[in-house]
Structure 1
């Protein structure tokens, strides 16, 4: 090969790498900073709500205000996480920049008045919105480049809001398709996730530390092995329960949302209904433990994610949190599902530990990540999240719980724009290529459907 050709190719590669380094560092700095502001505002909102309990009674009005905000200014931004996934699959109109401020304001207001929502949806939407805006600013036209930038935005938002850069990177690649990871974006997403997490931390944001005391059983020789066969079997049984909880949560949100759409045609009014339901639920259960994120209980002895790792037992806490969260998410409140799923999983693990006679902190930790794995169809990202949050000593249990929950959650999930790459059952192989939205709309697995290359499968 001519030396001039080699030099030109080398220069092109160098320019491309420099361009992407600048794009990704700029994107990550913006997303990390936005997440830092968001997390600080969430802390202020939560503290204000706890100090002023009467704010709960303003939740219906706050919900209507959020509904009107999206009704007047939202337009395509109403699509949320699913819009970003759709744009990665088939780039078109892009993700509007207004999605970032809309979802940030909507989520902070939701938490201020006590809605049981999370924060991952906000971080992911801000990441996708900023990524799309940077793509337009830099006049990216190549579909592959746009997809990589959006995946990097998802990874950056997820990593910064939870402090888990490796899980965030894998999540950005795994969340697109059920059963397959988009390895083409491997280097960009890990760079974006790491830088965004670092920037968020540099702003002084600290994430809640989780302590897992269980690190295995010592054998006869006094050494610890990475898995006990009996305990592993118990984790597998718990994984089935975690997967069914994931399925129950996802289907409840979708079905209740459909019911509310039929009952109330005005979308801006539906969050008000969710606010009224939340107040009624507080009266019925007699507790405010299920408002907001639920990481720390508002009062001593209450149910919270941190409390589930301790000696106390909370048999129905996970079910109450599920009901509270379904009521507001189905009604249209903004925030996300992940932190409530952490609560549901850790609470269910706490309950199952007594039934299965297993270490309570271990099952709480496995449930923490496994219910999310089943609901989001991201078992690898959630396994790595378990390692980043709780340490690597129990990785076999994390992986087992996440993988079993993923299989048992069926072809459902919280992100309906996900496409099925590898069906969870061999008998459902004709589903390859369809979205979870199509599955819920009545797609029949025994009818020939499109494959990943667009051809008809039989």
Structure 2
């Protein structure tokens, strides 16, 4: 995989960040090879046990394929930007079966704190069509339970949801920091890029052998489902965070979102003994809220929570996502995100800058 990207994929190795950079400052049409390379890279990552997701693959394929229409229709930069946003929405919606969340994700992901309203119609149409095509193709999606909620909404429960959101946000920030730490270590000590996934893969394999279980590699969907129904080891989210940071930081391909779902659901499960909320509700809150903090997309994550778990837990999911977003700071899994509106007045100087320039 390292050799594949070293010789043929250097122009597209930035992945999702390349898409966001092109939205902010359109320069050149994305190479078509981005789609097959990221697909093959993700399949290899999962085949050999890497801890990674799949939304990055879908988003990059959607953006790269959509961008090819720029040449065919000779689109202006403004229209090309809308096309890229629609491609991102379509990719996200199709892989999770959440068209509303996919549409809002495309509008929200590239500019922290702001929405691109002129792209609303293309994003929603693309997300709805992509979801329809995926379902018509017979591709199934994981079914998650409808979340039970307390009979009466009290200040204690609202405070518990906000407190959980704070923990979710700090965990999102920890995930981002750990991934950047591994990536920086590899870049500093391994000058020859193809060796980075070799070393990272060896470390992941040794850790899995030492743990004696494969629960914490791959997508981890079975463990995510278990988090809604039974207690997990309290350290489960830490192991998933570590293995995912090693996998992605070493240069394997895939996405961060499904591992973040795992981390969040397992963390919510671990919070059950100390917070007066039902276990499935905490797992569902963590599922979307850790992602909200790491991706800086609270509205898309609230939509996803409603689509996956039903509206009855909406206030708890919404509060957890918003608090997580605020407490993750100006950090995120997408370094090309630009701060459109700072999360706090003390950070106003960050506006107009990309997250990767704030480290």
Supply the distance in 1 between the matched residues of 2:200 and 2:146 (Cα, whole angstroms): 35
- Name the structure 2 match of 1:257: 183
Counterpart among 308, 321, 333 of residue 414 in structure 1: 333
Gaps (5+ residues) in structure 2? none
For 1:59-87, what per-residue CA distance to the aligned partner results, in whole angstroms no more than 9, with x for missing partners? xxxxxxx1111111102111100000000
- Name the structure 1 match of 2:159: 233
Supply the distance in 2 between the matched residues of 1:80 and 1:178 (Cα, whole angstroms): 19
Supply the distance in 2 between the matched residues of 1:213 and 1:73 (Cα, whole angstroms): 46
- Name the structure 2 match of 1:130: 65
Tell me, yes or no, if the aligned pair for 1:308 and 1:314 is still in contact at 8 Å: no
* Structure 1 segment 45-444 matched on structure 2, within 5 A: 66-140=1-75, 142-217=76-151, 219=152, 227-296=153-222, 304-440=223-359
Shift of 1:94: 2.3
For 1:258-280, what per-residue CA distance to the aligned partner results, in whole angstroms no more than 9, with x for missing partners? 11111101111100111111111
Tell me, yes or no, if the aligned pair for 2:107 and 2:119 is still in contact at 8 Å: yes
Tell me, yes or no, if the aligned pair for 1:216 and 1:393 is still in contact at 8 Å: no
Supply the distance in 1 between the matched residues of 2:265 and 2:337 (Cα, whole angstroms): 25
For 1:234-262, what per-residue CA distance to the aligned partner results, in whole angstroms no more than 9, with x for missing partners? 11111010000000001111121011111
Supply the distance in 2 between the matched residues of 1:215 and 1:112 (Cα, whole angstroms): 38
Shift of 1:284: 2.7
Between 149-158 and 257-266, the greater mean CA deviation after superposition: 257-266
- Name the structure 2 match of 1:224: none
Supply the distance in 1 between the matched residues of 2:247 and 2:2 (Cα, whole angstroms): 12
Shift of 1:117: 0.4
- Rg larger for: 1
CA RMSD of superposed structures (Å): 1.0
Matched position secondary structure for 2:312: coil
Supply the distance in 2 between the matched residues of 1:195 and 1:292 (Cα, whole angstroms): 28
Shift of 1:213: 4.0
Supply the distance in 1 between the matched residues of 2:233 and 2:157 (Cα, whole angstroms): 22
Q: After the TM superposition, list the runs of 4 or more consecutive aligned residues in structure 1 that deviate by more than 3 angstroms.
A: none
Shift of 1:190: 0.1
Supply the distance in 2 between the matched residues of 1:334 and 1:283 (Cα, whole angstroms): 22
TM-score, normalised relative to structure 1:
0.77
Supply the distance in 1 between the matched residues of 2:350 and 2:230 (Cα, whole angstroms): 44
Matched position secondary structure for 1:355: coil
The number of equivalent residue pairs is 359
For 1:192-215, what per-residue CA distance to the aligned partner results, in whole angstroms no more than 9, with x for missing partners? 000000001100001010003403
Shift of 1:412: 0.3
Supply the distance in 1 between the matched residues of 2:119 and 2:147 (Cα, whole angstroms): 36
Supply the distance in 2 between the matched residues of 1:187 and 1:280 (Cα, whole angstroms): 48
For 1:148-202, what per-residue CA distance to the aligned partner results, in whole angstroms no more than 9, with x for missing partners? 0000000000000000000000000100111111111001100000000000110
Supply the distance in 1 between the matched residues of 2:297 and 2:59 (Cα, whole angstroms): 15
Tell me, yes or no, if the aligned pair for 2:157 and 2:276 is still in contact at 8 Å: no
Supply the distance in 1 between the matched residues of 2:320 and 2:31 (Cα, whole angstroms): 37
Matched position secondary structure for 1:336: coil
TM-score, normalised relative to structure 2:
0.98
Matched position secondary structure for 2:323: helix
Supply the distance in 2 between the matched residues of 1:96 and 1:216 (Cα, whole angstroms): 51
Supply the distance in 2 between the matched residues of 1:169 and 1:228 (Cα, whole angstroms): 33
Shift of 1:291: 1.2
Gaps (5+ residues) in structure 1? 1-65, 220-226, 297-303, 441-458
